[in-house]
Amino acid sequence: LREFAQSMRAGSDKMLRILRSPENGRPFLTMGATLTIGEYVAPPILSAYLAERPQTDLCMYVNNTETLLKKLSRGEIDMALIEGTFQKSDYAWQLFSREEFLPVCAPDSPYAAGSFTLDDLTRSRIIVREKGSGTRQVLETLLSEHDLSLKDFAGMAEIGNFSAIKRL
């Protein structure tokens, strides 16, 4: 019953957005993208999409996976491009891409040259995304596969902004 009600509300909300749009009937897409996808992957794809469909209006929310899945369930967005895991039975979904998950460090870091084990890396501070981030979830899953967690690192900085992460 809850799923049916959410579906009806999502359809109703979309219809209201269409009716309230400046030009009735003009295609309108409301979507979400996680920070990684929203910053690096989505812009060229959306640029091409909008160039092919100049009549389409678009609204893209950029947020973490958890927040976007909530918006999707409440019908606040039509679709979401996310990374990380989610309850697949709750959504219609399609795999877009598989990407490598790589640690990075500053050029002057002692880890910038050579090969290191995960245990070596735990002697340093780790910079991670905020809770609810798909990127963080992937990292935590990988660590748990090696009997490690974020608490095993010498320190942790939780940052929800890519520009700040890159500067750190």
Q: Quick one: pLDDT at residue 101?
A: 85
Q: Considering just the CA atoms, what is the radius of gyration of the chain in Å? A: 20
Angle at 56 between CA 47 and CA 18, to 5 degrees: 140
Split at pLDDT 50, 70, 90, the class of 9 is low
Q: Quick one: pLDDT at residue 1?
A: 61
Q: Quick one: pLDDT at residue 117?
A: 92
Q: Quick one: pLDDT at residue 127?
A: 96
Among 65, 98, 100, CA closest to 80: 65
Q: Quick one: pLDDT at residue 47?
A: 92
Query: Does the CA dihedral 153-157-162-164 come out positive or negative?
Result: negative
Q: Quick one: pLDDT at residue 103?
A: 87
Strand partners, 158: 128
Q: Quick one: pLDDT at residue 75?
A: 86
Q: Residues near 88 by Cβ (< 8 Å), separated by ≥ 6? A: none
pLDDT 10s digits, 20-61: 555 556 677 899 999 889 988 899 999 998 999 888 888 999
pLDDT 10s digits, 63-122: 999 999 999 988 899 899 998 888 888 888 899 888 888 888 989 999 999 899 999 999
Q: For the residues 12-19, what does the mean pLDDT come to?
A: 59
Q: Which residue has the higher pLDDT, 86 or 144?
A: 144
Assign 138 to helix, strand or coil: helix
Q: Quick one: pLDDT at residue 83?
A: 87
Strand partners, 58: 29
b/e sequence 41-78, b meaning 16+ C-beta within 10 Å: bbeeebeeeeeeeeeeeeebebbbbbbbbebbbebbbb
